[in-house]
Chains A and B, each alone.
Chain A
Amino acid sequence: MKPFDYVRASDAAEAHDTAGRIIAGGTNLIDLMKHQIETPSKLVDVTRLDMHEIAPSDDGLRIGALVSNSDLAAHDTVRRDYPVLSRALLSGATGQLRNKATTGGNLMQRTRCPYFYDTAQPCNKRQPGSGCPAMAGVNRILAVLGTSDQCIATHPSDMAVAMRALDARIEVARAGGGTETLPMDDFYVLPGDDPSVETVMQPGDLITAVHLPSAPTGHQTYRKVRDRSSYAFALVSVAAVVDTDGGKITEAALAFGGLAPRPWRDTDVEQVLLGETPSDALFDKAADVLLADAKGHGGNDFKIPLVRRTLKAVLADLTGVTR
């Protein structure tokens, strides 16, 4: 680990330190610092700031950036109105990690691409322009959607996938002043030419909260497929909110994990479903739209048929189609 300065921010102004790096639970950042994948010269500990609350807001729920993954999963309102989020959180990491991990840190956690973690290897995300060994290497856990020829890393979060399905917005206090509340697709940036840029966050910016709109109608679920029953990142995951009325699908919000550099949502998929009678063939059509541009790299090819199967099973469950 490189030597670094440590300050504990006592107010928001101190947190907006453009020379510093925010640390919350530390469960991701400290690992990255030990490996010197990240080498901040200054850490700004924001854990004493007043961002620990989960509170009703005008139209839904406001989740403070420091709410731990455990507390969020166990919160009564979340369990009642947003069970997809609770389930997603509980499917992630381990009890110990979830106790430390925060809402803001979870959104900002970095990829689990193994080449990114090994500083003896090139990596466009770590060292732009050095190359991407994962593409022709071991890429079993990497992305099939939203990638570029520079990087095929996935965003590893489960929580963020559920939030994406719930149309969450991320509240960012800018270092230069002012607060923005961004939809997730505006918050996360696809790799394109420079995979080192993952979000629109600038030095000194602070995530202060996540907003959930009012509870959606219909059934919710989070289904995560993984290599072992716990303590493994998603191979693929599906967060779904689906409602039916009179035998037709009236509501469909679907987000996917393990597939892409950000929690993946494609509203065209939902359009296929809306107003239609649920059926196996319809679900296949939705999967066709989702996967139209999917591209495997050998080791991760299996994700394409796997997410199709998983999506269809989730839709069947939520619409009551017998399989």
Chain B
Amino acid sequence: MTEHLKMDQVQPRLLDETEQGALHAPMPRPEGPLKVTGTATYAAEWKLDGMAEGFMVRAGITKGRFKVDASSVEDMPGFLGVYTDRMVRNSAQGTAGTNPVQPGDQVQYLGQPIAVAVADTFEQARDIALALKVEYTPDDDAHVVMDDSATYEDDDDALDQGDLDAAMADAAFSVDGMWTTKPHNSAAMEPHATLAQWDGDKLTVRSSLQMLNYNKHEIADSLGIDVKNVRVLSPYVGGGFGSKLGMSPECVAAAVAAKALGRPVRVVLHRNHVFETIVLRTETRQRVRLSCDAEGKLTGIGHENWQANLPDEGMAEPVDLATHLLYGGENRRYGQHVAMLNRPASGSVRAPGEAVGMLALENAMDELAEKVGIDPIELRVKNIPDRHPENGTPFSSHGLKACLEDGAERFGWSQRQAPKARREGEWYIGMGVASAARLNLLMESRARVTLNPDGTALVQTDMTDIGTGTYAILGQIAAEMLGIPAEKVTVELGDSDLPEGPGSGGSWGAASAGSAVFLGAKGIRKKLAERLGCGADELRLQDGVATGGNNRRPLAELMDGPISEEGHLEPGQTDDDFTQSGFGAHFAEVAVNAVTGEVRVRRMLAAMAAGRILNPKTAQSQVWGGQIWGIGTALTEGIEHDPRTGHVVNNDLAEYHVPVNLDVGDLDVMFIDERDDQANPMQVKGIGELGLSGAGAAITNAIYNACGVRVRDYPATPDRIFPHLD
């Protein structure tokens, strides 16, 4: 049986009535001990009998055609084969559900996967891959720099509301600036890996992927087989951050080789391959314009961006996503220009849009506040719109003011001084603030919930847990709804044969997959109520005992066998009628070295309003991750492309600098109590990406407050700061 809900109207706050206490508790992740003891099996750790090993071959030119000469390596030790069939150009875009570009003998960027070399051992496969003779016919029309001579695809439908030029001309105060951000890599700890195994027409792919409901289609489509014959297993994912939304190139390579050889084939991407063949976040150039009246009330906002991608990716970084809804002002202009370049493809990396767009917008707000001569918090609060400033819909809930004001209190914002006023030895100390916003999304999802008479339960969906706490919260939701302790619930994820969940991405996992589990359990509650002879709304479940009407019975007595229900959630009218967004405020205190321009983040606070917080521990971890990403975005992370070949120069974790422990100061997180009734039947909103939105801008605003240097080019490495110091 299926319990279905289309989210057309507000649902009762059932989770505020239930009494088990499994939810809202800081439960640790149940799979955590497996992961830290090395007993959770990741994709590259499976071993199958007769398994062969593959290593990807990367293109050595930027553009042209290639031909591999397998005979050049066939005498090498362990050689089993070299395969080029159906090779995909790069990982699939998130929620593509179809094959990525399969360019045949065309090379479109340096580092593109062009073949897989397969051998008995990994070392042999790598040796063969490096020795393979490849004949290239280079084209001379490659373009790798995002300059004026590049070809741009413009967004012709970009909004142009009112007259921004006039608003800027008439403004009492205004800001008009250009910001730049370098490309980012997701840098998940676990590299992409696939073990492919055929049984007749049936293909099993053990891989590290975020969205099995789409990935199975992407794999089937790339291979030209029926999706019914594809099973994807991804029970543990060692970090995704968008890089595993779409099927990765080695999925296809391993499947093709396994088919040809008639034995399982494992292909693990080298870190260099991850940097090149998996979508990265585009570099951006952003022009932000703000105009306001004498009191600081915004009259206009402009946010235009330039970015880059390979042709035919159909994806652009939604740089201005949060700008549309965060602040008022009648005159608004946007624009997006995507340069078509022969460089690794761009796609989703954690918080696509806000991660970089909020840097520019929130820096500009800081600059404007200074010009108006008011506190940056006051400027922001003053400009919170009553309704969506462009489409006029009401907000489903709006916690920005509370986050800014309560956060300021907790952080000690009143201690903030003028730029350069605070110095400790060689270090300038300063504070910065930035708003956070992240559009809330709900996706169609299904999950099966089974309650057993012994008071245990099983939750099953093809949803993945990419380290975010999905195993924990889905178990907690089922436990809360069924009135059993969370330890009694087993959660099975990451198998594409299970009911289709939403996949991990877009911060929609907890809300979407969680709601499907909620509904499945609700279906079971209805049955229990029937059996108890009471109305569903009278039913109370706690510690395996059902109470309702004048009855009180243990589950074992009510049930003669397991009860299984599928929950099915679809987004509905509330999504159209309301603007739904998580909001927050980031605070940072930094120290800037007066000699070298080195920046140290001393402490950060994130105040977050994201609806109901299902598990404060896993939610806090998500926000910590966002804050740390904010540090990386602000200070250390940036891919360098060679200006002639476009290749990723710093294609490893030694030279692509994610923050290390010592870069991370004290992290504080507070949640604003909130229920978002329009969001879903659980009143929760996404939090994973909200924690990053604006976090970097708080840091660079703090840099200005510390030492008086405005950073507009990211990341703010020492060389971008010290030249402006005395």
Contact = CB atoms under 8 A, between A and B. Distances in A.
The answer to whether A and B come from one shared complex is yes
Interface stretch (A68-76, A197-205, A228-236, A245-253): A228-236
Given A112-B654, A138-B640, A302-B719, A231 B660 contact: yes
Contacts of A312: 595
Contact of A36 (B130, B649, B723): B130
Contacts of A230: 660-663
A235 B595 CA distance: 14
Nearest to A299: B640
Nearest to A300: B719
Contact of B596 (A121, A136, A306): A306
Interface in B650-691: 650-652, 654-655, 657, 659-663
Contacts of B595: 309-310, 312-313
B718 A3 contact: no
A93 B175 CA distance: 42
B722 A309 contact: yes
B110 A228 contact: no
B433 to A, nearest CB: 23
A137 interface: yes
B126 interface: yes
B720 to A, nearest CB: 9
Residue with the greatest number of chain B CB neighbours at <10 A, chosen from A112, A227, A228, A305: A228
A49 to B, nearest CB: 27
A313 B426 contact: yes
Interface in B552-584: none
Nearest to A298: B643
Interface string A1-39: 111000000000000000000000000000000101000
B58 A137 contact: no
A110 interface: no
A1 B596 contact: no
Contacts of A235: 718-719
B717 to A, nearest CB: 5
A226 B718 CA distance: 8
A91 B110 CA distance: 35
A109 B663 CA distance: 26
What is the interface residue range for chain A against chain B?
35 or more
Nearest to A309: B595
Nearest to A94: B660
A294 to B, nearest CB: 15
B644 A137 contact: yes
B657 A114 contact: no
Contacts of B644: 133, 136-137
A302 B643 CA distance: 19
B185 interface: no
Contact of A305 (B660, B662, B723): B723
Given A225-B718, A305-B723, A137 B635 contact: no
A305 B595 CA distance: 11
Nearest to A230: B662
Interface in A202-236: 225-232, 235
Interface in B595-642: 595-596, 598, 600, 635-636, 640-642
B154 interface: no
A229 B663 contact: yes
A305 B722 CA distance: 9
Given A3-B77, A118-B647, A120-B58, A309 B596 contact: yes
Contact of A1 (B123, B640, B642): B123
B127 interface: yes
B722 A232 contact: no
A267 interface: no
A244 to B, nearest CB: 21
Interface string A99-122: 000000000000010110111110
A161 B457 CA distance: 63
A121 B649 CA distance: 10
A34 B129 CA distance: 12
Contacts of B123: 1, 3
B419 interface: no
6 contacts: A2-B127, A3-B123, A3-B127, A118-B651, A119-B130, A225-B718
Given A121-B645, A228-B657, A305-B722, 4 more contacts: A1-B127, A118-B649, A120-B647, A137-B649
